[in-house]
Structure 1
Amino acid sequence: MEERIVIENKYEYWRHQRLVIATFTEIYLGKNISTQEDFVFKIIKKSNYIKEAYQLTKKQGKILMVLAEASKIDICPFIIKIQECLELSNDLIYIVLEYCNQGSLSQYIRREKQLQENEALYIMYQLLQALVLMAKNNIVHRNIKPDNIFIKDGVYKLGGFGMAEQNSKYEIKVGTLLYMAPEIFTDDQYDQKVDVWSLGLVIHEILFGEFYFFGTNKENIQFNILTKQYDLDDKKYAISNELKDLLRQMIHKDPKQRLTAEDALKFEIFNQFRTDPRYIKIMENEKLFQADRLQKYNQQNQIEEEQIQEQRKSEIKNSI
């Protein structure tokens, strides 16, 4: 039989349900034992981890917790949810994440090749809201690409926060080269607008099935990012003029002239989705989820308080 692993008598997963294996990380599909709800378990063995990578993992969990708290106020179901981050005595760290049952945008692109304008816009509309929430909390992702966008019941969610940071300005040159903004290479500091650039290129990719700044090697790709103008005048770019204008302003080489995510959402091209029954249902479900989570949190606090009171009563009784 396949080995069953139990975590803190709360979660379980099986070895045969491994989703990803990397040098320091393994990812499994598992469940909450009591509720049977599916979760993804990102597992890191501390003793095998170099100090810098270990700190990045801790930071990833912290940032996801910050965003989970922020989304209680500014409802945003478009960022992958963290359930909790557990550090156990057996040198293992477990990051427990929601399970996205429809895979990644990258997998979706491979199946569909190219998407129609309206579908691409609907995806962008959701992910721009994720960027707005992140910007409000001084968080940059720095690795937005189709592999790090996940789909759950038709909802597009930003994940893969391994390179994320919480600050107002950033200096480290990290990311996936094809989606990296030019200022990462040229400026001493950059801000959250690098994520707007990356998302713009993701939308370009799913619309036209191409990497706009592709090159024969790393140096050539970087050269294209820094020098090649983003031009949609070719007839093969058959999309509406308003979407062309939006993409041009998102993929602008000068970060000072590049749109913020908040400004991008003001484009009238997104008005159709504000009253879209799919979107309304997503937001209603998220409000119900947050209300349910708050109720469960209050119930758990009450149970813990009652247990503390009972323990105190028992201690007083035993001391008499």
Structure 2
Amino acid sequence: MAGWAPPRLEDFILTDKLGSGTYATVYKAYRKRNTREVVAIKCVSKKSLNKASVENLLTEIEILKTVHHPHILELKDFQWDRDYIFLITEYCAGGDLSHFIRSRRILPEKIVQIFLQQIDFGFAQHMVSQDESQSLRGSPLYMAPEMICSRHYDARVDLWSVGVILYEALFGRAPFASRSFSELEEKIRSARSIELPSRPRVSPECRDLLQRLLERDPDCRISFPDFFNHPFVDLEHMPCAESLQKATSLVAEAVEKDGARDYSAALSLYCRALEYFVPSLHYETDIRRKEAIRSKVRQYISRAEELKVLVSSSNKSLLLEGTSLRELLKEMSQDKPRLFAALDVASAAVAKDEEGMAADALDLYQQSLGELILMLSAEPVGRRRELLHAEIQTLMKRAEFLKEQMKTTDWKNDSLGNEMLSESVRGSCSLQ
């Protein structure tokens, strides 16, 4: 829009410009009859609209009028005059997700997970049908290869866009950052697999989701059901009314096991309870109740830390006792190079574990277990199978313990702070 002055709207005072795009500019505004009510107004210039963009705008209005969801901007009203169409929505003080990422450059994995849980794909069903013409819509940086290549596309392009946003949030840049559209197009059209940076470190679950979202072939890309069921998205633990009830039930079991000196089971139950307690903090709005929950969470984290020491000592003793058996198993596996290599990885995991490098050890444990479990299924009955089964059980116990150890460390260091940080941005994120 030309000039610095915002358009005039009878019932509102338009002030700061929040952002602008090809078709519209968004302003912060106050309702004249109630200056305490703050809204955002999207001003769409009629001159910039062609037939397709008019249809898009009408669809946006139709959808927003019918959708009422805590993670989607509420459309309060829409008006128009000779020059503009005005969409009046709720105001989000934290800005949009793109601004949030840019202002912090890199986001913690836990915060990214919360945003993934809040993305709503309800608009996907409103895409044009297969027999209608399709045009490029949205920012090229987030466009799926099938859009760039002018092939038929469907709602799965949004999954690619989520992958780009996830990559950008974790690593501080888009996977195909380019100086020009032609350079971007060349990178997206390329058949080369997308390599994920080694730093900052991301969990195996997060890495798996990223790789499956950023599949160039939409038929190989993760499906919507698999996305929603993916362990990194983890919708089971997103904040909801039932979070506190589930947490309380699990912690009651943990206290019972703790009293019976079954420390390993108690630690596991405390960790599972904390996976619901932290979301319940995010969901709770009453300040006093929130502080009471926060106090309990600190108490349970403290007890989990104490149990960690007890269980760690027991688990490490088990690993050291199993060293000679592992070496015997390696001697018995000279004729099976793949099994021998997997046992070598297990030995490397134990070495990292002894050095206190929990994250590296966990990665190696998971690599070795993936191979060893496959080897076990093909191993005939006999002494080697017995040893292999015992080795897998030992490694699994240690891997599970390290997962819980890393979770409690995360909770202790930053989860309560992240819970507050994640409240600073709320609203819909336009994927394209």
| TM category, shorter | 0.5 to 0.7
TM-score by length of 1: 0.64
Q: How does 1:19-58 map to 2 (within 5 A)?
A: 19-20=18-19, 25-35=24-34, 36-46=36-46, 49-52=47-50, 56-57=53-54
Following the alignment from structure 1 to structure 2, what is the Cα–Cα distance between the partners of residues 64 and 21? 18
Q: Secondary structure at the match of 1:268?
A: coil
- Deviation, 1:124, is 1.2
Residues 1:83 and 2:76 aligned together: yes
Which residue of structure 2 lines up, in the alignment, with residue 251 of structure 1? 214
Show the counterpart of 1:242. Answer: 205
Q: Match of 1:181?
A: 144
Q: SS at the partner of 1:231?
A: coil
Tell me how far 1:23 sits from its aligned partner.
7.5
Higher helix fraction: Structure 1 or Structure 2? 2
1:280: Cα distance to partner? 3.6
Matched, 1:62 2:59: yes
- Offset of 1:179 from its aligned partner? 1.5
Give 1 or 2: higher strand fraction: 1
Secondary structure, counterpart of 1:78 in structure 2: coil
TM-score by length of 2: 0.49
Quick one: which of 238, 254, 259 aligns to 1:273?
Answer: 238
Residue of structure 2 in register with 1:94 after alignment: 86
Give the match's secondary structure for 1:244: helix
What's the secondary structure of 1:211's corresponding residue? Answer: coil
Q: Residue 197 of structure 1 corresponds to which residue in structure 2?
A: 160
**1:234-270 deviation per Cα after TM superposition (whole angstroms, max 9, x unaligned):** 5325111111111111111111121234431212331
User: SS of the counterpart of 1:207?
Assistant: helix
Q: 95, 99, 107: which is aligned to 1:103?
A: 95
What is the CA-CA distance between 1:117 and the residue it aligns to? Answer: 0.9
| 1: CA distance, partners of 2:65 / 2:72 | 8
Correspondence for 1:134:
123
Q: What do residues 80-110 of structure 1 show as CA deviations (whole Å, max 9, x unaligned)?
A: 222222123x443211122111112233223
CA distance in 2: counterparts of 1:6 and 1:50, whole angstroms: 19
Shift of 1:6: 4.8
Counterparts of 2:108 and 2:116, CA distance in 1: 12
User: What displacement does 1:183 show?
Assistant: 0.7
Give the C-alpha shift of residue 58 in structure 1. 5.8
What is the aligned partner in structure 1 of residue 258 from structure 2?
A: none
Relative to 1, partners in 2 of residues 1:19 and 1:240: Cα closer, same or farther, differing over 3 Å? Answer: closer
Residue 4 of structure 1 contacts residue 13 of structure 1 at CA under 8 Å; is this kept in 2? no
Q: 1:85 to 1:262 in 2, by over 3 A?
A: farther
Q: CA–CA distance in 1 between the matches of 2:222 and 2:228?
A: 10
Size of the aligned set, in residue pairs, is: 237
Identity %: 23
